[in-house]
Amino acid sequence: MNTAKKYVVGLTGGIGSGKSAAAETFRTMGIEVIDADALAREVVEPGQPALDAIAAHFGSDILTAEGHLNRAALRKIVFTNPKQKSWLENLLHPLIAELLQQRLNATTSPYAILESPLLLETEQHELVDRVLIIDVDEKTQIARAVARDGSDEELIRSIIASQINRADRIQHADDLVSNEDSLEQLRINIKALHNKYIGMLSEQ
CB 132 within 8 A of CB 175: yes
pLDDT digits (tens, 9 = 90+) for 145-175: 888 877 778 888 888 888 889 999 999 999 9
CATH 3.40.50.300, domain 8-202, yes or no: yes
Q: What is the DSSP letter of 179?
A: -
Instruction: Grade residue 5 by pLDDT with cuts at 50, 70 and 90.
Output: low
Within 8 A by CB and 6+ apart from 46, the residues are 67, 68
Q: What integer is the mean pLDDT of 5-25?
A: 92
Instruction: Grade residue 2 by pLDDT with cuts at 50, 70 and 90.
Output: low
3-state SS, residue 165:
coil
Residue 3 has pLDDT above 70, yes or no: no
Q: What integer is the mean pLDDT of 114-138?
A: 93
Longest CA pairwise span in the chain (Å): 55
Angle between helices 82-105 and 71-78 (to 10 degrees): 120
- Helix (H) / strand (E) containing 134: strand 130-135
Phi-psi region of 82 (alpha: psi -120 to 50; beta: other; left: phi over 0): alpha
User: Closest Cα to residue 178, out of 165, 193, 163?
Assistant: 193
For residues 78 and 57, give the distance between their C-alpha atoms in angstroms, rounded to a whole number.
12
3-state SS, residue 13:
coil
pLDDT digits (tens, 9 = 90+) for 25-61: 999 999 999 999 999 999 999 999 999 999 999 998 8
pLDDT at 154: 83
